Amino acid sequence: MNAKDSLLIAQLSQVTIEFLAVLNRERRQNTLSRDFLDPLFARAGYNQKNSLINQGTIIGHAYLTIVWLWEQQSSHFTEAIPNFPLDNPVAPWPNLSDTVIYWERHISQPSHRYFHSWLRHVRNALSHGRVSFDPTNDDLLVFADAINKSSDPHTIIQLSPAQLGLIANLVIKECEQRTDNDG
């Protein structure tokens, strides 16, 4: 699979989430749409009290864009993503320094708090299934990166699903620009 094909799969995931968001809005705000959509949800056995976009949807999208896309475009992935300090005001993402609970604890030479390192920690947590809900606030996701076979994480990052979705979409955008520039 080449870079354009792998990027297309991430873009399709992004469009699917955007489509689900449109469906959510329509079924909540438009009576005519609800009359059409409710029977479809009922046939699918979907609990209509739930949102179509939830933490699991966002985690899946983040896995696809941050883990899988990184693997598929390994030689160009980090080149496509700008590497600013987490608190840089001109970075193409919001300040991420406040998402770090602790950073590379017990590591003799911790890396600088730059986006590539931050993204690597989130990627590792996603790829090794070390994502959980914050026990005090289930609207936040906790990403725990640890050395292999260790139960004690060295880095903990906490994000809202909306922040995670934003980062995943920014990764796609940067990869799109790289792919467009490569021709």
Look at the chain and count its residues: 183
Asked if 58 contacts 87 with a C-beta cutoff of 8 angstroms, the reply is no
| Domain total in the chain | 1
Cα gap 95→167, rounded to integer Å: 11
Mean pLDDT of 31-54: 81
Cα→Cα distances 114→33, 86, 95, Å: 45, 5, 11
Q: Exposed e or buried b for every residue in 6-29, given b needs 16+ CB within 10 A?
A: bbeebbebbeebeeeeebeeebee
- Rg of the chain over Cα atoms, rounded to whole angstroms, equals 18
Q: In the prediction, which pLDDT does 124 show?
A: 94
Q: In the prediction, which pLDDT does 138 show?
A: 74
* Domain extent for 36: 3-182
Cα gap 120→70, rounded to integer Å: 10
For residue 27, pLDDT over 60 is answered with yes
pLDDT tens for each residue of 52-71: 777 788 888 889 988 888 88
H-helix segments, 30-76: 31-44, 55-62, 69-72
pTM: 0.83
Asked if 58 contacts 164 with a C-beta cutoff of 8 angstroms, the reply is yes
pLDDT confidence bin for 181, thresholds 50/70/90: low
pLDDT tens for each residue of 96-123: 999 999 999 988 898 999 999 999 999 9
